[in-house]
Structure 1
Amino acid sequence: MIVKIKGNFITIGQLLKKINIVDSGGQTKHYLQTHTVLINQKQVVTRGTKVKDGDFLWIDRKLIKVVSEDE
């Protein structure tokens, strides 16, 4: 799956909302505590973590590539 973002980055909380995994920041916090979310093979623990253009995410074994809409 490819997710397009505006600008160079988006927070993991915003991205999870964008792809309809969570509805709110509170849900994001709980989701990160109970699911495996990796950015470039590093575990994500805070909802403010930045996801940048070109990053790869693994969300419960689902691979997502993040690209800027500018490309």
Structure 2
Amino acid sequence: MRTLDFELDRDHVELNQLLKLAGLAGSGGEGKQIVASGAVRVDGVVELRKTAKIRAGQEVELDGCRIRVVAA
């Protein structure tokens, strides 16, 4: 599994925006579609809330890629 570190420079980022910023979705709208499909896991649990608040210390998984969210 490929792992990316995403440096969070604020309190949180919305899940659909994280997918866009990490390069796993072409846009926020595409990110919302991906989340709605049930393909995204947050800390090992399927997450269906498109704008779930993701904070430093959490991990997001999609299609064999893990995004570790770290404080900047």
Residue deviations 1:15-38, cap 9 Å, x none? 111112223332122212336211
Gaps of 5+ in 2: none
Runs of 4+ in 1 over 4 A off after TM superposition: none
Q: How many residues align?
A: 69
Structure 2 counterpart of 1:57: 60
Q: Which residue of 2 aligns with 1:40?
A: 43
Compute the TM-score of the two structures, normalised by the length of structure 2.
Answer: 0.79
TM-score (norm: length of structure 1): 0.79
Aligned-residue RMSD, C-alpha: 1.6
Q: Mind listing any 5+ residue stretches in structure 1 that lack a counterpart?
A: none
